[in-house]
Amino acid sequence: MKKIFSNKYIVYSLFVIGGVFLGWLFFHSSHTSNDKHSQVMQESKAAIWTCAMHPQIRMDAPGKCPICGMELIPVFRGDGDKIIVDEKTRETIGIKSIKAAYMNLSKKIRLPGRVANDNDLYIAQQEYLTSYKNLEKIRNNYSKGEELERFEKILQSSALRLKLLGFDEREITKLQNADSPDMNLIYPDKKAYVIAEIYENDLYLVKIGQKVMGTTPAFPSDIFNGIIRAIELALNQETRSAKARIEFDNTGNKLRLEMFITLEINIDMGKHLAVPKNALIDTGIRKVVYIDLGNGRYKMTEVKTGFAASDHIQILSGINEGDKIVTEGNFLLDSQSTMTGGSSLLYGSSEEIKKDENKPLHKH
């Protein structure tokens, strides 16, 4: 009986000791795992806490924005030249991306105009027609020598004046078939001429022969259709613009002298690699976009741009077709990159400081 009790005691003791050992082993393993997890979490903690609405706010711990009261969001440390943002922060910031693609681009130019009494052009046309008819008479009379040369020079001078007023050779040749100057230049009837100022940065886009749509407050439901007939060669030094003459259909005689009209020119720019305008950050020194690399990783890339279309901007270099480009939340990514020591500089000021630091001191 004692022997059986002794054996049971030994077995029970071994069971207790084994349980204590397993419990210690589990606790130690769990404690070690928690320590490692805590260390990983500590390493991934935010470097700075900021506000989605006010990225200039920088805190060392979570809390609320002192300006708007919103909960602060973490700014995570980067991975080399990349920014890493967790899923919750991406949702808070509202980061969205779109693929860069080749697309047909168009540009819309809006500008003011007025129905003009164009005496200068009327007189220039009259002089040219008179010179042209006189020269034709001389030629038909088989005149030669100095008289013919003199009339040819008069015609050349008249043509030059028309060119200075913006007419090309095609429009001048067309005028030769007219019996008289265009009366609509000084008194709108079935046609009306509108004067508009084409600004210097749009001159390369606007051409003679392009179609123009016009609207006026006097007839808000009507759309007037016109065509550009002339663009002056010289710029106005004060406005940095060139005067364009646009011929409008004036059926119904609604367009009157000195009436204001809003003009719209839609220009087909062709197919180009482009991104939405809001994807671009212009620092003043350079232009950058953020490439979405996936899994919350983003990389700033400098790009070279071309023309700006209605909603997109042409990309000449820096990214490729199919690259995912951040279109929303990119300005906050930019501020995060700056705060964590990145190279993205929204206003270019830090870049200027870095450049200035490298300049040698002036010595006398």
- Cβ-Cβ contacts under 8 Å for 60 (sequence gap 6 or more): 48, 49
pTM: 0.58
**What's the confidence (pLDDT) of residue 139?**
80
Confidence at 335, pLDDT banded by 50, 70, 90: low
Rg from Cα positions in the chain: 38
Contact 50, 75 (CB under 8 A): yes
Residue 1 has pLDDT above 90, yes or no: no
More confident residue, 42 or 223: 223
pLDDT, tens only, 261-315: 999 999 998 999 999 999 998 878 888 998 999 888 888 889 999 988 888 999 9
Give the rounded percent of residues in the chain with a pLDDT score beyond 70: 75
Residue 140 has pLDDT above 70, yes or no: yes
Task: Identify the top-confidence range among 18-32, 65-79, 217-231.
Answer: 217-231
**What's the confidence (pLDDT) of residue 148?**
84
**What's the confidence (pLDDT) of residue 33?**
39
**What's the confidence (pLDDT) of residue 10?**
45
**What's the confidence (pLDDT) of residue 144?**
65
**What's the confidence (pLDDT) of residue 124?**
92
pLDDT, tens only, 75-93: 655 555 677 777 887 887 7
**What's the confidence (pLDDT) of residue 215?**
95
pLDDT, tens only, 151-170: 889 999 999 999 888 888 88
Mean pLDDT of 39-61: 62
- Single-letter amino acid, residue 134: N
Mean pLDDT of 236-240: 88
Q: What is the mean pLDDT of the chain?
A: 78
Contact 209, 228 (CB under 8 A): yes
pLDDT, tens only, 176-233: 888 889 888 888 888 999 999 999 988 888 999 999 999 999 999 999 999 999 998 8
195 alpha-carbon distance from chain centroid: 28
Contact 356, 349 (CB under 8 A): no
**What's the confidence (pLDDT) of residue 166?**
86
Q: In whole angstroms, give the CA distance from residue 291 to residue 92.
A: 19
**Beta-sheet strands, E only, within the chain:** 48-50, 73-75, 82-84, 96-99, 101-115, 191-199, 211-216, 219-231, 241-249, 260-276, 281-282, 287-294, 297-308, 312-317, 324-328
Tell me the DSSP string of 30-62: HHHHHHHHHHHHHHTS-SEEE-SS-TT--BSS-
**What's the confidence (pLDDT) of residue 27?**
34
The residue behind tokens 């050349």 is: 156
**What's the confidence (pLDDT) of residue 38?**
37
- CATH code at 82-104+270-357: 2.40.420.20
Confidence at 17, pLDDT banded by 50, 70, 90: very low
DSSP 79: B
More confident residue, 357 or 185: 185
Q: In whole angstroms, give the CA distance from residue 120 to residue 108.
A: 30
pLDDT, tens only, 80-135: 567 777 788 788 778 899 999 999 999 889 999 999 888 888 999 999 999 999 88
Q: In whole angstroms, give the CA distance from residue 56 to residue 48.
A: 11
Longest dimension (CA), the chain: 156
- Single-letter amino acid, residue 194: V
